[in-house]
Amino acid sequence: MSAIARRSPRRGLLLTALALAPSALPLAGCGLATAQRSTAAGVQVPDFADLAERVLPSVVNIAVTGDQRLIELPPEFRGTPLERYFRERQRRGRREAQGAGSGFVIDAVGYIVTNNHVVGNARRVVVSLQSGAEFPARVVGSDDLTDLALLKIEPRSDVALPAVTWGASGALRIGQWILAAGSPFGLGGTVTAGIVSARGRQINAGPFDDFIQTDAAINPGNSGGPVFNMAGEVVGISTAIYSPSGASAGVGFATPSDLARPIIESLRREGTVARGWLGVSVQDVATAEAGRAGTPRLRGVQIVGVERNSPAAQAGLRPGDIVTAVNGERIETSRALVRNVAAVPPGQTVRLNVLRDGRERELPVQVGRRPTGGTER
């Protein structure tokens, strides 16, 4: 990754923590997929006017107030006369930091989705609707691994708070039109259009990377804003950009709705996300090595370490085992293994197909709860 990546303090490639929360309208059945405009040459191109008119009232601003991050004391200063000077400067310089971002209403009772990096360290969050109405918001829950957060406001009876409809990101095709909504650089009520440039992008932001790449202009302030398909359904959440300047370079990334929706539902129910965990370190099987000497090519995930007293250890998994399937679903990459196990509620049992000493066997494993900040699978 080159110097063109814009980073946040907590995650790689994230937009600046200026989050806006888009509110949302019921958009089903609006017939937007057929909206087109003729050019002078007679070529039919999409007309986004009807779609923009419907989604813009659903876009809201999220203003955040929190403490400014303090710079970590360099190790070489510790225990020296400079440490006291450094601490005093930090104490005097501590002040409030303000930011803003985007999001969207998923329920008229006041639930709003945004990015975790927008509200993660906030002491005060205020949501502003397109009408200008403002409401204090509380963070219901957040998930750092997918950079998602859920807010709740208490709307007044005289204020309309329409909700978006989730769409299926898995149905997106490369080249399809999409519309991003948010408040780039604090400019509220902004929409940008583009196409799906790629799917399944991994940008080293976390273990669950599966981003939609788009060339729609996404800038600081779009964080947490919705990405709509032409039917007016939310299929993604603007999360990250590649940029040489801090502004859009036509390479933006959105968290797909198929990944986000169950996370948000879990945050709404429990305020947190419980993920399955095995307690192993893994690596992809080197297929080139496996295919030598006339042996069949192997596709799977090799266990290189097993944590003591972990679910994997209790089930009898060993270093050197190769996991080829989870509950009958073929597994070929470490990332796929993480996702499949993480999707299993802690306490439930999964069936792992394991290749050991040339023989395949099936091992039942009762998964545990993934530790907060844990790196093992």
Residue 85 pLDDT > 80: no
Mean pLDDT for all residues in the chain:
82
Categorize the per-residue pLDDT at 314 as very low, low, confident or very high, splitting at 50, 70 and 90: very high
SS3 29: coil
Structure confidence at residue 324 (pLDDT):
93
Residue 287: both structure tokens together: 């297929």
Annotated catalytic residue within 147, 209, 215, 321: 147
Annotated catalytic residue 310: no
Structure confidence at residue 204 (pLDDT):
84
Integer Cα distance of 301 and 23 in angstroms: 42
Annotated catalytic residue within 223, 238, 243, 266: 223
Q: So what CATH class is 276-369?
A: mainly beta
Task: Tell me which DSSP letter residue 374 carries.
Answer: -
Categorize the per-residue pLDDT at 14 as very low, low, confident or very high, splitting at 50, 70 and 90: very low
Annotated catalytic residue within 117, 197, 257, 321: 117
Handedness of CA 315, 316, 318, 322 (dihedral sign): negative
Q: What percent of the chain has pLDDT over 90?
A: 56
More confident residue, 51 or 57: 51
- Residues 233-262: what's their mean pLDDT? 93
CA angle, 279 then 326 then 263, to 5°:
70
Query: Considering the domain 1-271 in this protein, what is its CATH number?
Result: 2.40.10.120
Integer Cα distance of 146 and 115 in angstroms: 9
Burial of 364 per CB tally in 10 Å (0-12, 13-18, 19+) = exposed
Structure confidence at residue 1 (pLDDT):
29
Structure confidence at residue 190 (pLDDT):
94
Annotated catalytic residue 117: yes
Per-residue model confidence as pLDDT tens digits over 325-370? 999 999 888 888 988 899 899 999 999 999 998 899 999 999 999 8
Any idea where the domains of the chain sit in the sequence? 1-271, 276-369
Categorize the per-residue pLDDT at 37 as very low, low, confident or very high, splitting at 50, 70 and 90: low
Categorize the per-residue pLDDT at 73 as very low, low, confident or very high, splitting at 50, 70 and 90: low
Q: Which of 63-67, 163-167, 211-215 has the lowest mean pLDDT?
A: 63-67
Annotated catalytic residue 131: no
Structure confidence at residue 120 (pLDDT):
85
What residues does 115 pair with on adjacent strands? 148
Categorize the per-residue pLDDT at 4 as very low, low, confident or very high, splitting at 50, 70 and 90: very low
Per-residue model confidence as pLDDT tens digits over 167-176? 999 999 999 9
